[in-house]
Amino acid sequence: MEVKEKSKIDPKFKYEVARVAGGENIRYCFQCGKCEATCPIRRFEDSYKPAQIIRATLLGLKDMVLDSDVIWLCATCYSCTERCPQGVRLTDVMRAIRNLAIQKGHVHPFFKQQAGVITRAGRIFEDEEFINQMRGELGLPPLTPVNRDDLAKILRHTNVKKLLKNEKEK
């Protein structure tokens, strides 16, 4: 993460993260560093520091965290969650931070694109015909089509469509 000069401290940020489902246990972190030692991303990418992201969140560096590029590097491998001695469930906290980032208008284009296709077509691909052709060649039954109307109906209960429209590309 970029350490900006004079970053503003917003003590309410940590409560925001804790209010997102999965973010509640961020408060238990005591900076032992086991997550960083375990993380395969951290091992090969020096700018990705999960414990530092927790630290910044607890301190309240909201803009620094939500605007940063590195929060999109988590591979969701859950190794940190396994090894954390205080049950912080860092993988879920990272996801909660990502959810807040997109609410603020920041999302990595890869995730935006994927979620866009899924919420529209119901799968990570649009062209069901092509896929079924490949399957047919191997002797596999075709996939049953996704009912896009039904999909739209259930997703109306969340604001995911709005989120995917309003964000700023990174």
| β-strand partners of 48 | none
Q: What are phi and psi of 98, to 5 degrees?
A: -60, -45
- Say how far apart CA 26 and CA 9 lie, in whole Å: 17
Least separation in angstroms between residue 6's CB and another protein is 20
Which helix (H) or strand (E) element contains residue 126?
A: none
Q: Is residue 133 a contact residue for another protein (CB under 8 A)?
A: no
Please report whether residue 139 would count as binding another protein according to CB under 8 A. yes
Contact flag: residue 165 with another protein (CB under 8 A):
no
Q: Is 140 in the site for another protein (CB under 8 A)?
A: yes
Judged by beta carbon, residue 15 or residue 78, the one nearer another protein is 78
Measured CA to CA, the distance from residue 168 to residue 108 in angstroms comes to 9
Site for another protein in 17-76 (CB under 8 A): 20-22, 30-38, 40-46, 49, 51-52, 72-73, 75-76
Return d(Cα 170, Cα 163) in angstroms, integer: 15
User: Does residue 115 interact with another protein by CB under 8 A?
Assistant: yes
Give whichever of 9 and 75 is closer to another protein, judged by the CB atom: 75
